[in-house]
Structure 1
Amino acid sequence: MLRRTLFFSVVLVSLAFFIEAQQHRQSRTKRSSQTQRHRRRARSLKPPVTSFVTDSGGRELIVRLLDIGQGDATYIRNGSSKVIIDGGPDTAAFGRYLDSLSLNNSTIDVVILSHQHLDHYSGLRELFKTSRHIRVQYFFENKDPAPAVTLAELRDSILSRMDRDSLIYRDTDDPCSNGRPICTITMTGGAKLHLLAPLPNGDGPNNRSAAVKLIGPDSASFTMWLAGDAEHDEINWFDATGYNRNPGIRVNVLKADHHGSCNGVTPRYLELTHPQWVVASLGARNDYGHMHTQAKAIYRTAGVPWYRTDQNGTITIRASGKPGGGFTITPDRPGTDLDGPSDRTSQQGACTMGMK
């Protein structure tokens, strides 16, 4: 259980959000107006750091890329801190992981929705089922208007928890950030997440993906880059930002953008990230051609091996957090990538942009 002591600046911001949440309760209007109102508030109140005081939970960092089907869901634990990035395409599959990871009756410190596609957000609704007794402290998303009923349900749940649990609902969109982190999340074991705003005015949800650089307790031993479904436009923007110049996006592990689509990688992107491993989240026999043979050719040319959830199951990464301790990657089902049916379908040949 996290100690509830936060840095003074974060306490002030939390108090500001709590007061505004009470005002929101007293003047509740239609759902659309609520969402726009909270978007404006989130933009005006952006704490630079969200920190949880270090405790005895240990320094080991554990990252699980969940075998969630055709979608994305990542669980991160360090010390007693817990972070979830995306929740996959359906509540049933995500709910089974909440059970197996013993997350019921617990606190999830941070939830990040990379972008507004159902295969990333739908499962997150399971976090807010009252029967699970899960408390979420921070929820980040870009809050772009979206017509999907399931996303509206998720946002309604978030807004209700602002009142009940003082959940802090943050907008990841910051067109003035130039790629600088809009927030640094420090976990109790010493790991950090730099949360980067999406491409301003990106063309479609994929190129509006928030990105995360995960830095292990020993930054020299482990780093990881996760950028949702970012495509070439946003990848080029990452290259041009100030963050890429300092501290840079060179990492040990790259989560393949857009489930291993050909529009989620370029040779230049691998030069920037320079990963030792790539991990990809995708569903077996999917309709989109993930992983694309062009993407795999780029990885092979760069000499980078990969695991993929459709063939290897859940992929677990462990970093000891000790200086020089390194990291391990362990899939549920070891084995070499095979060109299965999902590699030979609609996306082969031309590289199609904008696919889910």
Structure 2
Amino acid sequence: MKNYKIGLGLLIVLIVAFFAGCSNNNQQFQAASSPVPKQITIQMIDVGQGDAILIRTAEQVILIDTGDVAARAKLIRFLKQQGIGSIDKVIISHPHADHLGGMAELVANFTVKQVYDSGQPTTTALYRRYLATIKQKNIPFTILAAGDQVDFGNGAVFKVLGPRQPFISEEALNNNSIAGKLVYGRFSLLFTGDVEKQAEERLRQSYPAELAATVLKSPHHGSRTSSSPPFLRAVAPEAVIISVGADNEYKHPHKATLKKYADCKARVYRTDQDGTITITSDGQSYQIVKER
């Protein structure tokens, strides 16, 4: 009888240990297989009077515009501080210096895997050097037009809304900027380059139901030549981000434009006052954080 009790006790201990081990193994498996939280990070870099917007998903690094020539050292320093070694995609919205100016320095310091632009040429030496650098470095190059889509990885898609052929005019570099809507789950951001009222109206007529976005990248640095009321009603943004230099000679953003943003009850963030503006989203909610 004593031997039976000892055997029964040992059996109970073994059963408990077995199930405890199974439980621990199951917990370890669940922890290992739990999905890593995914998010998108968008930073409007404070490069003064120009545009440079860094986008990072779990899979890719994308840069939309590169700021002006005078800000190229600041751009490179910022990217290196972020731990970036290569850039999957560079999108040049249009070939004005305040959007294209940092490209040569960018290619000299980072591996650039793909370049996109609108295909509109200009005669400046800066633009010619840009094309020569792409050819010399053998960087794949693609022209974007309305209707195209670019995969940013991790479920983020850039839907190109403009420019549409024929161009508004060969001289209207601003109006022929690449405009596109970044969509990540329920979050969206409308990129506009430097489009002005004529291009805004073309966008509104071409995409009456697709312009609505959570956040708007202020067209043309908040100039009065952009952000027409019909366009803003179509976008209906909750927030507007403006890339602009402090005390710039153009006096951007113009007071009339800021009033339009106030009238549509959008929160306004601007690099001259707030520094680099960082937006993060998990595809459901989003946060906007100011540098200062």
Task: Name the TM-score, length of structure 2 as normaliser.
Answer: 0.82
The one of 193, 196, 199 aligned to 1:228: 193
Gaps of at least 5 residues in structure 2 are: 1-34
Q: Which structure's CA Rg is the greater one?
A: 2
Q: Does 1:98 align with 2:57?
A: no
- Equivalent position of 1:332 in the other structure: 291
Query: Matches of 1:258 and 1:302 in 2, distance apart?
Result: 18
- Equivalent position of 1:266 in the other structure: 228
Q: Does 1:209 align with 2:177?
A: yes
Partner-residue secondary structure (3-state), 2:122: coil
Query: Matches of 1:57 and 1:155 in 2, distance apart?
Result: 40
Query: Matches of 2:269 and 2:155 in 1, distance apart?
Result: 27
Query: Matches of 1:302 and 1:143 in 2, distance apart?
Result: 34
Query: Matches of 2:57 and 2:246 in 1, distance apart?
Result: 30
Partner-residue secondary structure (3-state), 1:147: coil
Q: Does 1:194 align with 2:159?
A: yes
Alpha-carbon shift at residue 57 of structure 1 (Å): 7.6
The one of 310, 315, 326 aligned to 2:277: 315
The one of 133, 141, 151 aligned to 1:169: 141
Partner-residue secondary structure (3-state), 1:87: coil
- Equivalent position of 2:41 in the other structure: 62
Runs of 4+ in 1 over 6 A off after TM superposition: none
The number of residues matched between the two structures is: 253
Amino acid at match of 1:189: N
Amino acid at match of 2:268: W
The one of 35, 47, 51 aligned to 1:72: 51
Amino acid at match of 2:161: L
Q: Does 1:149 align with 2:125?
A: yes
Alignment of 1:1-356 (within 5 A): 59-90=38-69, 91-104=72-85, 106=86, 108-129=87-108, 132=109, 134-162=110-138, 167-172=139-144, 174=145, 179=146, 181-182=147-148, 184-199=149-164, 200-203=166-169, 204-216=172-184, 218=185, 220=186, 222-241=187-206, 244-245=207-208, 248-321=210-283, 325-333=284-292
Query: Matches of 1:308 and 1:211 in 2, distance apart?
Result: 20
Contact 1:208 1:234 survives alignment (8 Å) = yes
Alpha-carbon shift at residue 121 of structure 1 (Å): 0.4
Contact 2:161 2:203 survives alignment (8 Å) = no
| CA RMSD in angstroms, aligned pairs only | 1.6
Amino acid at match of 2:176: R
Task: Name the TM-score, length of structure 1 as normaliser.
Answer: 0.68
- Report percent identity of matched pairs: 30
Contact 2:276 2:290 survives alignment (8 Å) = yes
Gaps of at least 5 residues in structure 1 are: 1-55, 334-356
Contact 2:43 2:53 survives alignment (8 Å) = yes
Alpha-carbon shift at residue 68 of structure 1 (Å): 0.4
Contact 1:65 1:74 survives alignment (8 Å) = yes
C-alpha change, 1:212 and 1:235, in structure 2 (3 Å) is: same
Offset from partner CA, 1:165-199 (integer Å, 9 cap, x none): xx321122x4xxxx4x22x2223321111123314
Query: Matches of 1:71 and 1:191 in 2, distance apart?
Result: 25
Contact 2:162 2:180 survives alignment (8 Å) = no
